[in-house]
């Protein structure tokens, strides 16, 4: 090869490398859209403090990825699939958003994931619970990170049935999450020899639970299962306490209870309630150290959703750094290939259906005598291993899974 040819070849190769590098991170910016309930029923479990967790991750990462700046936009989803869909469509089609994070109401997440798939952008869902998000509603463009209804039922419902709660009456939020949780609870209760003898569905959100609690109380069921979340759950528990549900011998099973809910209720009201959680701030030195920083930043202890938002943001940024790209499929593939070992999870992994699987925990709310402070609320009863907690791929209806 002549010297001229060598120079030309080198110049072409250099140009291709530079062009490829410029094209890898679009607009030389990694742009994240944070979407969550910022003012309603689910405000405390994710909301503004979830945005704070996301920004903590970006700051800890260094504020840039391979020289590309990181930008954040945010919006209140108002728990509305229509509002959320129009927001996310604008973000991905007109504002160059690469990742949509947060997402709480399952109906919102399902609607948004369809738009992400249409536009080949990525979403990481941290607040939603419906297991259908990575089952019949799976896409190659989203990851479900923190928890879902399958392990909630496997943990709490299974434990309550084994302790003698054989007959159940379900009080269910009337939308995708509530329906999914009720279905998963029925599966677990029946598999353990119990029976769901009735159910009532309440509007989302609901302020007055009197008529619903009275129906559940009149059923005579051993257990009243609450397939709802956030303010709906705390309102239902408060009403049940006023009506003397537990004093009459029935058990109240809160199937999705967050740290902020227990804090709002107080241990006097919530003591003894068993729940399943994906994370707890006081589990070990690593969780406590991160939670102390979060407390300094926000004034409250983090829920599992806040911790999951931080963790998933770090995993996403590490994948962008490793691949040099913000392309959705490139980043998702890298995240699937990378085990998750941080303050949120050990040996976590993202499956082909988009489900991030990790250990879950059965917890019990402490009594006032056991609690040593404002946020000392849980005792961990047992670990539910990841392979036991989540729906096995052999039972999946996800289009990405070859059963």
Q: Which residues make Cβ contacts (< 8 Å) with residue 334, sequence separation at least 6?
A: 319, 322, 323
3-state secondary structure of 395: helix
Pairing mode of beta strands 251-254, 223-227: parallel
Where the chain has pLDDT below 70, the residues are 1-23, 403
User: CB neighbours (10 Å) of residue 241?
Assistant: 17
- The predicted structure's pLDDT at residue 342: 98
- How far is residue 34 CA from its own chain's centroid? 14
CA distance 264 to 11: 65
- The predicted structure's pLDDT at residue 301: 98
Note whether 333 and 350 are within 8 A (CB).
no
- The predicted structure's pLDDT at residue 248: 85
- The predicted structure's pLDDT at residue 94: 97
Buried b (16+ CB within 10 A) or exposed e, 361-384: bbbbbbeeeebeeebebbeeeeeb
- The predicted structure's pLDDT at residue 247: 82
- The predicted structure's pLDDT at residue 274: 87
CA distance 355 to 134: 6
Cis peptide upstream of residue 205 (ω within 30 degrees of 0)? yes
Note whether 44 and 264 are within 8 A (CB).
yes
- The predicted structure's pLDDT at residue 219: 97
- The predicted structure's pLDDT at residue 349: 98
Q: Which residues make Cβ contacts (< 8 Å) with residue 187, sequence separation at least 6?
A: 153
**Domains along the chain with CATH numbers:** 27-147+283-358 (3.40.50.2300), 150-277+360-389 (3.40.50.2300)
- The predicted structure's pLDDT at residue 99: 98
- The predicted structure's pLDDT at residue 83: 97
pLDDT in tens, 222-242: 999 999 999 999 999 999 989
Q: Which residues make Cβ contacts (< 8 Å) with residue 230, sequence separation at least 6?
A: 41, 42, 43, 44, 45, 205, 258, 261
pLDDT in tens, 356-367: 999 999 999 999
């Amino acid at each position: 090869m002549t010297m001229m040819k060598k120079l030309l070849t080198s110049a072409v190769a250099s140009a291709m490398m530079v062009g490829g590098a410029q094209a890898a991170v679009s607009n030389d910016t990694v742009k994240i859209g944070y979407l969550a309930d910022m003012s309603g029923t689910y405000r405390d479990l994710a909301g503004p403090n979830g945005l704070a967790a996301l920004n903590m991750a970006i700051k800890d990462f260094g504020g840039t990825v391979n020289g590309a700046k990181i930008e954040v936009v945010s919006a209140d989803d108002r728990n509305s699939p229509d509002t959320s869909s129009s927001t996310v469509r604008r973000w991905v089609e007109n504002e160059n958003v690469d990742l949509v994070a947060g997402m709480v109401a399952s109906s919102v997440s399902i609607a948004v994931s369809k738009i992400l798939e249409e536009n080949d952008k990525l979403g990481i869902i941290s607040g939603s619970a419906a297991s259908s998000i990575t089952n019949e509603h799976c896409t190659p463009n989203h990851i479900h990170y923190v928890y879902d209804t399958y392990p909630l039922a496997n943990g709490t419902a299974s434990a309550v049935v084994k302790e003698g709660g054989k007959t159940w009456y379900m009080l269910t939020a009337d939308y995708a999450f509530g329906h999914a949780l009720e279905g998963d609870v029925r599966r677990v209760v029946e598999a353990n020899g119990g029976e769901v003898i009735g159910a009532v569905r309440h509007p989302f959100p609901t302020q007055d639970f009197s008529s619903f609690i009275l129906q559940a109380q009149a059923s005579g069921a051993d257990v009243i299962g609450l397939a709802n979340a956030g303010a709906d759950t705390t309102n239902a528990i408060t009403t049940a306490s006023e009506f003397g549900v537990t004093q009459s011998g029935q058990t109240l099973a809160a199937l999705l209870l967050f740290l902020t809910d227990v804090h709002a209720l107080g241990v006097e009201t919530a003591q003894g309630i068993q729940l399943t959680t994906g994370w707890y701030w006081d589990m070990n030195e690593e969780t406590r150290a991160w939670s102390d920083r979060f407390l300094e930043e926000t004034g409250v202890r983090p829920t599992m959703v806040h911790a999951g938002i931080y963790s998933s943001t770090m995993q996403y940024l590490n994948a962008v750094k490793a691949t040099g790209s913000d392309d959705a499929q490139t980043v998702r593939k890298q995240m699937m290939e990378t085990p998750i070992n941080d303050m949120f999870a050990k040996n976590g992994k993202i499956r082909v259906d988009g489900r991030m699987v990790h250990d879950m925990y059965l917890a019990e709310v402490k009594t006032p005598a056991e609690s040593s402070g404002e946020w000392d609320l849980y005792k961990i009863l047992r670990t539910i291993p990841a392979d036991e907690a989540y729906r096995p791929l052999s039972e999946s209806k996800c289009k990405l899974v070859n059963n």
